[in-house]
A and B are shown apart, each in its own frame.
Chain A
Amino acid sequence: MLSRRLIMGAAIAASAIFGLSAATAQAQGRQRFEYWYGLTGQLGEVMADHCRRFNESQTRYEAVCVGQGGYDRAEQNTIAAYRARQHPTIVQIYDAGTVNFMLSGATYNAVTFARDFNMRINWADYFPGVASYYATSRGEMWSFPYNSSSAVMYWNRQAYRSINRNEAAGSWEQLERDLRSLKAAGHACPMAIDFDTWQWVEQFLAVHNQPIATRDNGYAGLNAELSFNKGLLSTHLNNMKRWFDEGLVRIQTAQTGKTLVQAFADGSCAVTMSSIANHGVVGATQTPGMEWSVAMLPVYEGYTRHNSLVGGASLWVMQGKSRGEYEAAAAFLDWIATPAEVQWMPTVTGYIPITTPAFQQMTAAGFYQQPRFAGRETSITSLTFTPPTNNTRGIRLGNFTSIRAELQSELQAAFTGQKSVQQALDDAASRGNQILRRFEQTMRGRELP
């Protein structure tokens, strides 16, 4: 007695659902490959644009570029897709994902790939500080640097003029004096800080040539241990806490309502430290007429300045795709490494040119004299200040995202008075070490290349 109408309705619904699974469009003769990127918003549009321009520049290959909605998601989705053998050929992965990808056995490492597909890349062109981050402990690069940045100090010239100074502080001691003068001159917020470990911990330690962890910051093996909780960082953070209590630095985060970039751009805070990638953002959102500039991160007296670390993301080629897709991918990677394209990225974003020839061309062409871009060369000076040492090659620690989160939570606890700075650092290091040991155990049998 099953109602005929019921059956019919169900059948129609079922066929509608199944029938609508349309096959994707066939390629119109071009060899396609898939590229997943992680950037969103306006930077995501730049990514899509880059792909579009590649497709328009030639007729043989086609890059199908899909935004994944964030770096975390790009990594996660690639892993899920790889497990189901549905992964893309190229994927954009952030710095913290380097270790997972290096240990995965799922990647086609860059040096081998370039050789196998006759790419025109000249590895020596990359800035050493950039290359070392994405290279093995023996210096062989496994991914292609793409969007890179480094950390700089942003300072407000007008505020500095009000304390009769015309240049940014070169040392932390000088910066402290500046902050006190600024406060005395009536500035409510001399410096804006937040709890992001990238510039306040990682870059800080690098420019002072101090390690974050043993075993060359993890490059030499998975049995590295965190070592940041003793020594300079402890002294420095105690200073920062003191300054916070005295009102010389103020916490500006999205949760307080204004990030430190916003606080700097609208003139409320006179100094901050952030990625050079924000140079364009500050320029676009600053209060009109504000005079500001960037400088290298300050260094404590008695320490020699060293190169800062690179930030951003790189492109990885994955295993398990067809020869045709690899050829297309090689063409794309070759194309974005041409000087013209390496120079295109810094003009539409705040990222830096990653090869020496490109940087030289841009300087010669007067790029850094233009008011909009003036000062950005500081980040490159900082990145290339010295050849990378064992402490300034980069950071290669397992599950670094979680370690960063632990450190961030502990810093929040310290600055809200729940525990002393030293206690917070010790707790962060011990919890971080637990994370490292778990990672080491999970990766038993694998070796860091």
Chain B
Amino acid sequence: MVERTPFLNILTHLILGAGLVLLLLPLWIVFVASTHDFRTVNTVPMPLWPGSHMVENYVFTWQQSQFGPKMLNSLIMAIGVTLGKIIIASLSAYSIVYFRYRLRMVLFWLIFITLMLPLEVRIVPTYAVAANALRPFQEIINVTRISDLADLLFGIRIVLPEWQLLNSYTGLILPLIATATGTFLYRQFFLTVPEELLEAAKMDGSGPLRFFWDILLPLSKANMAALGTIMFVYSWNQYLWPLLVVTDPSYGTAVMQLQRIVPGPLFGEPPRWHIAMAGTLMVMLPPLLVVVFMQRWFVRGLISQDK
């Protein structure tokens, strides 16, 4: 845009600069806290400038907490959830937007409502399901007497095998894929795609799957990137569910580990904030890198066609 608006430009820079300070100040404090030693970090007020203990804090935290393997677990979990979410959400949203069937809106709201109940509330029964994921179906088969029917007709008892998800990547990943953010996002996006595209595709004789794969998906790259980033960060930062479903330390995630080193309010707990903040920054780094890397893809105006 070749325009001369010097005053507005200065204002823009001022606002953007203020925004920067606002958004980065807390991160700065976390960083500064991670560079001091135990005594300094506990003086009130804590100094605003970094100290000299950065390397020793980070080395200590890394070794003590064995962040290496934990980061790998977090990575596997986050990637699994991200991919799973993208695939499932796009398929479901496609079904809701581009097909007409009676249960369409009911299913959409069923999916959407899953956003509205906090995990903390349902965590105890969710754990029971994770211990045997096929139990709900077994119970249904029992209650609806299908099992009795099968026994009567065919002489076989339907007993579903036990599918245990605890202490496994599946257990970490599957329950987190089950929520609705992605579906909602894709629905919104699909609604903005011009009808002409579909009309043209239909006239070309392409069926629903071809339309999805060849036309809709490429268009939604920006959304995929946005959703992927959000989901990666979200699943990376999960701590409540992993803490419950994983008791074998070899499956521990990085944020679970971080929880263990953040000083609690207990009596006798030395406030080792310098270690906790060093750990925080280390745990924050991978999602940060993902965010930094991905932003290129989804803010670039990938809709190349200009109407």
Contact = CB atoms under 8 A, between A and B. Distances in A.
User: Do A and B come into direct contact in the complex, CB within 8 Å?
Assistant: yes
Interface of A: 1-3, 6, 10, 13, 16-18, 20-22, 24-25, 34, 36, 39-45, 66-71, 73, 76-77, 79-81, 83-86, 88, 149, 254, 257-258, 262, 265-266, 274-275, 277-278, 280-281, 284-285, 311, 349-351
B247 A274 contact: no
A314 B260 CA distance: 20
Cβ-closest 6 pairs across A and B: A277-B268, A275-B267, A21-B168, A84-B131, A277-B267, A80-B127
Contacts of B167: 24
A17 B243 contact: no
B261 A41 contact: yes
B243 to A, nearest CB: 5
Contact of B44 (A42, A69, A257): A257
B236 to A, nearest CB: 17
Contacts of B170: 17-18, 20-21
8 contacts: A24-B167, A24-B248, A40-B263, A80-B128, A81-B247, A262-B271, A281-B268, A350-B268
Contacts of A79: 124
A281 B269 contact: yes
A68 B170 CA distance: 21
Nearest to B135: A84
Given A25-B250, A42-B263, A69-B239, 19 more contacts: A21-B170, A39-B266, A40-B269, A42-B270, A45-B64, A66-B248, A67-B260, A76-B123, A77-B244, A80-B127, A80-B244, A84-B132, A86-B131, A86-B166, A257-B45, A258-B44, A266-B44, A280-B268, A281-B268
B284 interface: no
Interface residues of B, number: 55
B215 interface: no
Contacts of B165: 21
A266 B43 contact: yes
B260 A149 contact: no
B213 A278 contact: no
B44 A41 contact: no
Interface string B8-49: 000000000000000000000000000000110011110000
Interface string B221-265: 000000000000000000100011001111000001001111111
B266 A80 contact: no
B178 to A, nearest CB: 14
B263 A73 contact: no
A41 B210 contact: no
B131, B267, B272: which has the most chain A beta carbons within 10 Å?
Answer: B267
